[in-house]
Chains A and B, each alone.
Chain A
């Protein structure tokens, strides 16, 4: 059973890419989902807006799969809540 953050990230990627959420597995790569670099920055922007945080460029660059997005976001949110 995916956790809430996983579900939310998948929902955002689905919305931005015009994909059905059930087509997006947590282990899918951006390449498999045909998410190019411009799509990628768009997804990062949508996450920043949703969670009201700033994702540094070096973190954004690591996001090349759904799982990496979720893990990086989890770290960022953890840091944000620790402040």
Chain B
């Protein structure tokens, strides 16, 4: 497939995005055979699936309900995604902290509406994807695929019906934290039913920020690999969302996926820090269980994923492992969720279970 940036410049229709692209200074060409050049070549064929996109954060300072389209900096961010070789991203639906719990469902609908508005306003750059196949389609059309999620567990208001409705609206990843059924003690009976219904629908479980007990139970119960959308290695940096070596090993055994973020708090500030975490996760969980999440380090003016990949090549990562890291592992997990859902729907009807039946509060 053609380099995304080249394809963008060959677009016939003029637009803001194109103008910006043409006025941007040309990046210097790296020498042939250098890690930078190999990184660019690899990323051209295997762009990054970004597990916790920076894109929504372009909107975080706006009053999220009165987005003024066209004046939001999204154009700039789409350009940065392309320069950073991002081919697909998860769009987090985390709610602003000032939203009270009882407003969570309506606020989640508004977040979904906001994403739709932004994607609809940038048809040249972004495309919603509801399945692994649609991610590939978007990429083949030169668009960045937007996968909706993760949303927090509070978005369900303890209702499997609402889970099904949010899935209909496109939700594909849900974090198993922030609800009574996914607490410190792990998944309750209702929590397990939520996970089974997620498997039936094809909604991936995200366990970043979940308790260790929830993570262990989700790994055992889920019929499709689980994600950690923004977790690094706890043995290198003690952030609560980071995974212990024991959980990383369990995640690897279950063919789950740890998407290592590039954040000062979780992985450390520099490219070297992030590369250290990636080395560690790859060593413990395996090359099939490591991915990328969040703004690449040292982004600043120049997008950082090519630099990060060049560093990994310098550290001796085989190219096949790099392509798994950027694109292949996430494709496998998305496809697995689709297959598992198709199989489960033959066996299982929509669950009518209610939290009051499964998790009675006798207190």
Q: Do A and B come from one complex?
A: no
